[in-house]
């Protein structure tokens, strides 16, 4: 998956997968940090800071300078995710929103409330992409597919990561 060529201001890029996308995001973050500032809004508390630094080390000698261009904010509830988006300034740099809906899948948040909060989040996403590209990763949830569908309708590019199948090898007879 190489999304760098399509990473332009005004674009909303959605990466969906039924399994972890952490590795891909780590690579993307490191690549972006080599070029300029990037902000991660983390909804699943899964941002891999150490792996990102390791990734940077493979690409540059000036690790600290590149690392200081990566900014992180975490949300632990869907209300905080909305606050994060509302408080994020419109910058001429990419935003990566990891596991955007992880907090929206909380069973204590009613469907209607999740939908209402998403409405407000979408407004903020539209604002942010006016000045820089926005990449969102998410894992669809069977009980809250509408969240995925609404974001899908908004996205300019969609990547669906496949689950890597294990290598099939013939079993020994004995």
Partner 1 sequence: MSNELHGWLLDILPNEQGLTIWILGEDGKRHALSHDFPIAFYAAGPAEQLRRLWKWLQQQPENPKLSREERRDLFAGSIPVLAVELTYPSDLTPLFNRTSLEFPDLIYYNADIPISLRYTARYGVFPLADCEIKIDPSGYVTDIRSTQTAWEVDLPLPPLTILGLEPECDPFHAAPTKVFIQTPKARFSLDLEPARAFMIGLRAIFIRHDPDLLLTAWGDTWLLPKLLQMSKETGIDLPLNRDPDQSIKHREARTYYAYGQVIHRGKQVLLAGRWHIDIHNAVMYHDYGLEGVWELARVTGLPVQTVARVSPGTGISSMQIVTALKEGVLVPWHKQQAEHTKSIMDLIHADMGGLVFQPTIGLHKDVAEIDFISMYPSVMARFNISPETILPGIREQNTDLPATSTEQGLIPKTLEPLLKKRIAIKMQLLTMSKWDMRYKSYKARSAAHKWLLVTCFGYLGYKNARFGKIEAHEAVTAYGREALLRAKEAAEDMGFTVLHMYVDGLWVQKKGSNKVQDLQPLLDEILNRTGLPIALDGIYRWISFLPSRLNKNVPVANRYFGVFQSGEVKCRGIELRRHDTPKFISEIQNEVLEILARSPDVEHIFEYLPKIQSLIDGKLYDLRHQRIPLEKLIVRQTLSRPINEYRVPSPAATAAKQLEEVGKFLRPGQTVRFIYILGVPGVYAWDLEQTLDPKTIDVNIYKKLLDRAMETVLQPFVSIQAQPFLPLLVSGAGD
Site residues, partner 1 (CB under 8 A)? 39, 47, 49-50, 52-53, 64, 67-77, 79-81, 83-84, 87, 103, 108, 113, 116, 120
Coil, strand, or helix at residue 67?
helix
Whichever of 50 and 174 has its CB closer to partner 1, that residue is 50
Whichever of 53 and 161 has its CB closer to partner 1, that residue is 53
Strand partners, 6: none
> Could you give the CA distance from residue 21 to residue 53 in angstroms, rounded to a whole number?
17
Whichever of 82 and 138 has its CB closer to partner 1, that residue is 82
Q: Looking at beta carbons, which pairs linking 83-87 to residues 24 or more positions away fall under 8 Å? A: 84/41, 85/41, 85/121, 85/124, 85/125, 85/128, 86/120, 86/124
Smallest distance from the beta carbon of 49 to partner 1, in angstroms? 5
Smallest distance from the beta carbon of 122 to partner 1, in angstroms? 14
Q: Are strands 38-42 and 95-98 parallel, antiparallel or unpaired?
A: parallel
Smallest distance from the beta carbon of 35 to partner 1, in angstroms? 15
Smallest distance from the beta carbon of 79 to partner 1, in angstroms? 5
């Amino acid at each position: 998956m190489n999304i760098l060529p399509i990473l332009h201001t005004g674009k909303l890029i959605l990466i969906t997968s039924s399994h972890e996308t952490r590795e891909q995001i780590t690579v993307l973050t490191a690549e972006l940090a080599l070029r300029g500032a990037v902000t991660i809004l983390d909804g699943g508390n899964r941002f891999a800071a150490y792996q990102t630094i390791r990734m940077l080390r493979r690409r540059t000698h000036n690790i600290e300078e590149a690392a200081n261009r990566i900014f992180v904010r975490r949300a632990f509830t869907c209300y905080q995710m909305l606050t994060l988006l509302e408080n994020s300034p419109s910058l001429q740099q990419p935003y990566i929103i990891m596991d955007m809906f992880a907090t929206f899948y909380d069973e204590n948040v009613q469907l209607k409330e999740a939908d209402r909060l998403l409405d407000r989040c979408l407004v903020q996403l539209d604002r942010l992409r006016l000045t820089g590209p926005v990449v969102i990763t998410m894992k669809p949830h069977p009980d809250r597919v509408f969240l995925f569908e609404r974001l899908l309708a908004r996205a300019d590019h969609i990547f669906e990561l496949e689950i890597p199948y294990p290598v099939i090898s013939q079993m020994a007879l004995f």
